[in-house]
Amino acid sequence: MSFIEIREISKSYGDLPVLNRLAMSVEEHQVVSLIGPSGSGKSTLLRCINGLEPIDSGEIRVHGDRITGPGVDVNALRRDIGIVFQGYNLFPHMTVLQNVTLAPIQVLKQPRAEAEDRAMELLKRFSLAHKAKEYPDRMSGGQQQRVAIVRALAMDPMVLLLDEITSALDPELVSEVLNIVRDLANEGMTMLLATHEMGFAREVSSKVCFLCDGVVCEEGPPEQIFAEPQRDRTRSFLRSIREAKRI
């Protein structure tokens, strides 16, 4: 069984079907990239895996455990599955250190000193220790996004979901965030990421899934998806991305 198994899940918002019996899987220590047109359901899929959105039918399993449907402890799920968004979502009235230690203290019930030691260790590792007492709005977007990743890592998640985490950044700040993801990939962190950074997806992914019409239209190793896509839809999507010089 795969580490994450998504079994024919469907999800609509009112009359709008977004995911339509979508199936895919992620192996442990794999990095899987979700690509696809805007509105193809990448964010919805990530939010369903994290329990932020209920699904209408189907099933998601992580590490063998069913994480959708009745009786699931959504809070436990969110402890184990980290998610980082495009807009960082740091608490503006809290320092970096407070942002990073909040969930370990409140949710994992770690003693403050222990949570702070661990937070400082992570901040140091990502060259952010000198920002521990800083407030988010006094930092660059790249620094804020790195803090958001550290905050997710402080919970020791089994899986990290990353939703377009570089999309809000000025171009010169993208690489400092992607470098963290690259490091985490090298360390074997299991990650599922929605991205428009095709060069990065090609470099870092074990597998790329192209979403369209509510399903995974095409999936495969990055060399195949980017160099020899099999489906017309995939080809035309990649062509439009190339024309926009995003690859």
Residues engaged in binding ligand ADP (CB under 6 A): 13, 16, 18, 36, 38-44
From the CB of 91, what's the least distance to ligand ADP, in Å?
22
Q: Is 234 in the site for Mg ion (CB under 5 A)?
A: no
123 vs 146: CA distance, rounded Å: 9
Residue 222: contacted member of Mg ion, ligand ADP, none (CB under 5 to 8 Å, by partner type): none
**Which residues lie across from 61 on neighbouring strands?**
5, 66
79 vs 77: CA distance, rounded Å: 5
Nearer to ligand ADP, 16 or 113 (CB): 16
Contacts (CB under 5 A) with Mg ion, residues 13-42: 42
Residue 41: contacted member of Mg ion, ligand ADP, none (CB under 5 to 8 Å, by partner type): ligand ADP
Nearer to ligand ADP, 38 or 75 (CB): 38
63 vs 244: CA distance, rounded Å: 39
Who's near 196: CB < 8 A, 6+ residues apart? 35, 164, 167, 241, 246
Task: Give me Rg for the CA atoms of the chain.
Answer: 18
From the CB of 43, what's the least distance to ligand ADP, in Å?
3
Q: Is 195 in the site for Mg ion (CB under 5 A)?
A: no
The DSSP 8-state label assigned to residue 136 in this structure reads G
Residue 244: contacted member of Mg ion, ligand ADP, none (CB under 5 to 8 Å, by partner type): none
Out of 30, 33, 40, 43, the only residue in the binding site for Mg ion (CB under 5 A) is: 43
Residue 13: contacted member of Mg ion, ligand ADP, none (CB under 5 to 8 Å, by partner type): ligand ADP
From the CB of 201, what's the least distance to ligand ADP, in Å?
14
From the CB of 123, what's the least distance to ligand ADP, in Å?
29
Given a contact cutoff of 8 angstroms between Cβ atoms, the answer to whether 83 and 161 are in contact is yes
Closest by CA position to 184, among listed 161, 164, 207: 161
- Residue 93 burial class via C-beta count within 10 angstroms: exposed 0-12, middle 13-18, buried 19 and up: exposed
From the CB of 215, what's the least distance to ligand ADP, in Å?
13
**Which residues lie across from 209 on neighbouring strands?**
34, 219
From the CB of 194, what's the least distance to Mg ion, in Å?
6
Residues binding Mg ion (CB under 5 A)? 42-43
